[in-house]
Chain A
């Protein structure tokens, strides 16, 4: 019995401790993010590069995915609510589901798949190659130089791309509703406006920032856990990505709870 309890308790305690360490690390990073001294020319250059590689480079793919996926989704939503006779709830569905839930989720998935894994691998490689120690030897704060730009980049990119996704989906929905379902543009606009709540938009923005924060923070944290062996790199990436996925689910659930409180 004691052995069973130990078997169950050990990973639980490990996970709790890990979460605690991650949150403590998050606290340190947040204080750095909001500190003006963290931003120097080198940090700014890294931040610009990170935004470029995370958000700008992905734009063609992201816009294509947004338009195709958004049009399909809007078409399905239109057809279903028309069949069910719930056309008056079109706005609520689009704003409540597409804008506040789907846009951040799709965006964070894309960025996590592309950038989080890259950050995780990059930090793990730097750890293996002793580059982090080298930077410390040169009195370069790795938090300022490496972590803060990446985390700020994550927050900015997820927020901007989520909003872009929402605008593109609603735009394609407008065309879809006009050409396929014969709904007037004014009607479509008013339907959306009547269902728009600023509280939902604020929650969406906060959620995007939280997503962006954790999908960059967790890979950094797990990249730092890599040992000095090359074989520890894939392990760090794997563990980091799993934790990123868990973090996405937890944030999504918490945002839902927050919305319906």
Chain B
């Protein structure tokens, strides 16, 4: 029985211890405890938010941690970071180191390398670390809004002060309104309060009555005009209305104009022909004139040859 208990206890201790040791070794291996590391030194003006063991991150991945913090003779905080050998390639001569302080979560040192063609960072080089803070950024963004809110609050304050003041516009307006309402309560109507004369109110009342009568008369006139308009409408737009007749006449006229257009075309053609014929007439006239001139010449010759006149007369020039 005792041997059995000893065996069980031994088994328990061995298995549990093996599990624990295996877990610790695995964690140590994964956390690069057994990997050789390189140490780099950064300088910062302030040690705020810096703690030993804080992570060094590249592209969101932890590539190292802060090993040691110390203040040098110049008042600068010297930060020693250790980076496992396999992550050294991310650190180049153009690498920037930024301390990020998120609103939620712990601060961390972010490594920013723009170009990997630069040579690897020398361990002896001391690089300066800059600081960014989410809270400060947010405060910077919120500051203009806060200024505006402050201005609004100041204005609101002024407004409420003016409202609360007995000499303020609102108080005076309310006082005036109070006077008005008290006056109104003493008068029969708002009109009486406005004109401050009872007779004038009566006149206005009479004028209004007359306006009512006039309105009735105008209404009757408008009815008559309406009836006339109905008749006019019938005479103009009815079956035998003037517009229908005018429309027929216009259609007839259009038909006649179409016919006349043909006639005009014919006249034009004739005039064109006549123009051509006029050219021929000119030639004919020249021919006739030439013929007449020939006949005249012939008659002259005849007269000269056969004097048919009883007294030939010779006129000298």
Binding site for B on A (CB under 8 A): 45, 48-49, 51-52, 55-56, 59, 89, 156, 160-161, 163-164, 167, 189, 193-194, 196-199, 201
In the complex the two chains form, what is the Cα distance from A194 to B61 in whole Å? Answer: 9
With a cutoff of 8 Å between Cβ atoms, the chain A residues found around residue B9 in the complex are 48, 51-52, 55-56
B159 CB–A CB distance under 8 Å: no
B68 to chain A, nearest CB (A): 15
CB contacts (< 8 Å) of B2 on chain A: these are 45
Contact with A along B1-41 (1 / 0, CB 8 A): 01001101100110011011001100110110000000000
B238 within 8 A of A: no
Give the residues in chain B near A199, CB-CB below 8 Å.
53
**Across-interface contacts of B20 in A (CB, < 8 A):** 160, 163, 167
Interchain pairs with CB closer than 8 A, number: 48
Which residue, B12, B19, B31, B105, has most C-beta atoms of chain A within 10 A?
Answer: B12
Asked if A56 meets B8 with Cβ closer than 8 Å, knowing A160-B16, A164-B16, the reply is yes
Q: Is B96 an interface residue (CB 8 A)?
A: no
21 contacts between A and B (CB under 8 A): A45-B2, A51-B13, A55-B9, A55-B12, A56-B8, A89-B105, A156-B13, A160-B12, A160-B16, A161-B16, A163-B19, A163-B20, A167-B23, A189-B30, A193-B30, A196-B27, A196-B31, A197-B53, A198-B27, A201-B24, A201-B27
Rounded to whole Å, the gap between the CB of B61 and the closest CB of chain A is: 9
B62 at the interface (CB under 8 A from A): yes
* Cα distance, A164 to B21, chains bound together (Å): 12
Given A48-B6, A193-B30, A194-B62, A56 contacting B19 (CB threshold 8 A): no
Q: Which residue of B lies closest to A201 (CB)?
A: B24
Q: Of all chain B residues, which has the CB nearest A190?
A: B30
Q: Point out the residues of chain A lying under 8 angstroms from B30, CB to CB.
A: 189, 193
Residues in B107-162 with C-beta less than 8 Å from chain A: none
The answer to whether A51 and B12 touch across the interface, beta carbons within 8 angstroms, is yes
CA distance A89 to B62 in the complex (A): 14
- Which chain A positions have C-beta within 8 A of B62? 194
Q: Which residues of A contact B17 (CB under 8 A)?
A: 160
Q: Fill in one digit per residue for B88-116: 1 if any A CB lies within 8 Å of its CB, else 0.
A: 00000000000000000100000000000
Complex Cα–Cα for A48 and B31 (A): 36
Which residues of B are interface residues toward A (Cβ below 8 A)? 2, 5-6, 8-9, 12-13, 16-17, 19-20, 23-24, 27-28, 30-31, 53, 62, 105
What is the bound-complex CA distance between A59 and B13, given in angstroms? Answer: 12
Contacts of B28 in A (CB 8 A): 198
20 new A-B contacts, CB < 8 A, other than A160-B13, A167-B20, are A45-B2, A48-B5, A48-B6, A49-B5, A51-B9, A51-B12, A52-B5, A52-B9, A56-B5, A56-B8, A56-B12, A59-B12, A163-B16, A163-B20, A189-B30, A193-B31, A196-B27, A197-B53, A198-B28, A201-B27
Q: How far is the CB of A211 from chain B (nearest CB, A)?
A: 16
Is the CB–CB distance between B27 and A193 below 8 Å?
A: yes
Complex-state Cα separation, A167 to B105, whole angstroms: 26
Least distance between A261 CB and chain B CB atoms (Å): 12
Contacts of A189 in B (CB 8 A): 30
A-side contacts of B12, CB under 8 Å:
51, 55-56, 59, 160
- Distance of A163 Cα from B105 Cα, bound (Å): 27
Q: Smallest CB-CB separation from A193: which chain B residue?
A: B30
Residues of chain B lying within 8 A (CB to CB) of residue A51 = 9, 12-13
In the complex, the answer to whether B5 meets A164 with C-beta atoms within 8 Å is no
Across the interface, name the chain B residue whose C-beta is closest to A164.
Answer: B16
Give the shortest distance, in Å, between B225 (CB) and chain A (any CB): 79
Closest A residue by C-beta to B30: A193
Which residues from A are CB-within-8-Å of B24?
Answer: 201
Question: In the assembled complex, which residues on chain B have CB atoms less than 8 Å from the CB atom of A161?
Answer: 16
Contacts of A48 in B (CB 8 A): 5-6, 9
Closest to B11 in A: A56
Chain B nearest Cβ from A104, distance in angstroms = 14
In the bound complex, residues from chain A placing their C-beta under 8 Å from that of B13 are 51, 156, 160
Whether A52 lies near B8 (C-beta < 8 A) is yes
